[in-house]
Amino acid sequence: MPYYYEFDDTHRILLAIQYGHVDDNEAREMYLDIRRRKDEGQALTGILDLTPVTNFEVSTQTVCELAYLPPNFTDPTLRAVVAPTDFLFGIARMFQMTGSDGREELHIVRTLDEALTLLDAKNAQFHKVTTA
C-alpha cells in the first residue's frame, strides 16, 4: 500500500500522498479508498500529492477507467492533484480531461504550496491519519 493520508481539521482537507512505485492495482486501490477516508473524516476537499512517487507504471487504460468512475469529491468543490514532473502532470491532465463530468474544479498543480494556495489553506496543519 504505497500511500497514506493526512488531514487538516481546520479546512477539512484530506491529503492523500502516494509514494514509491505505483502500479495499476495500487492506483485503483487508492482511488477507491479515498472515498471511504473522505467520508470517515468528513473531508470537504482533497489533495492528491504525487511528489514522492519514484516509479509510475499505471497504464493509460487504468487511468481512463478511474477517470470514468464518479469523482470522490464532486464539483463545485475545489481540489487538486500535485504532479511535479512533466510525465505525472500529463497523466493527471489526461485523467482530468477523460473524466470531465464533475471534474471541472479539479486542478493539476506542480507543488503542494500551489494546491494550498488554490484551496485558500496556506496555514493548513496536517496530521497523519491512522490506518484502519
Let me know if domain 3-128 sits in CATH 3.40.50.1100.
no
| Residue 72 · residue 31 · CB < 8 Å | yes
Per-residue pLDDT at 13: 96
Per-residue pLDDT at 35: 86
Per-residue pLDDT at 132: 54
Q: Which parts of the chain have pLDDT scores under 50? A: none
State whether the Cα torsion 129-122-74-88 is positive or negative: negative
**CA-based end-to-end distance of the chain:** 13
Q: Which amino acid is at 22?
A: V
Per-residue pLDDT at 82: 98
Per-residue pLDDT at 112: 98
Domain boundaries, the chain: 3-128
Residue 120 CA, chain-centre distance (Å), reads 17
Q: What is the DSSP letter of 72?
A: S
